[in-house]
Amino acid sequence: GAGVSQTPSNKVTEKGKYVELRCDPISGHTALYWYRQSLGQGPEFLIYFQGTGAADDSGLPNDRFFAVRPEGSVSTLKIQRTERGDSAVYLCASSSSTGYGPRDTEAFFGQGTRLTVV
């Protein structure tokens, strides 16, 4: 597709379970970002990939959160032992930023995965 695709669009899980959220970025975009957005707030940075490597994971809240991007395209955000406080919309974005040139290139966001932990 032409845009950033995230699956599933909605995920309900029980407290303590493991979840995986998937992101398909725009083809050719080497930069990929994960953000988390709670109701009524702006997106909060989690992690940034440049190619296959996590260039900045300073936003991951704790070691229950992990993300991978093994082939430099699709990324998976993994959350272990989910807690009710993890409930939020998880947004993925990609951009054409290479990490060497201009850093202010626009980010293209997916529509997010709404995670509800019950």
Partner 1 sequence: SQKIEQNSEALNIQEGKTATLTCNYTNYSPAYLQWYRQDPGRGPVFLLLIRENEKEKRKERLKVTFDTTLKQSLFHITASQPADSATYLCARGEAAGNKLTFGGGTRVLVKP
Q: Which residues bind partner 1 (CB under 8 A)?
A: 4, 31, 33, 35, 40-45, 48, 50, 55-56, 58-59, 91, 93, 95, 97, 99, 103-104, 106-112
33/117 with CB nearer partner 1: 33
The amino acid present at 43, given as its one-letter code, is P
Measured distance CA(52)–CA(9) in Å, rounded: 24
Q: How far is the CB of 26 from partner 1 (least distance, A)?
A: 13
Q: How far is the CB of 46 from partner 1 (least distance, A)?
A: 9
Q: How far is the CB of 68 from partner 1 (least distance, A)?
A: 18
63/106 with CB nearer partner 1: 106
16/53 with CB nearer partner 1: 53
How far, in whole angstroms, is CA 21 from its chain's centroid? Answer: 8
Q: How far is the CB of 77 from partner 1 (least distance, A)?
A: 15
* DSSP three-state, residue 88: strand
Q: Which two tokens stand for residue 26?
A: 């725009």
Helix (H) or strand (E) holding 35: strand 31-37
In terms of Cβ atoms closer than 10 Å to its own Cβ (0-12, 13-18, 19+), residue 33 is buried
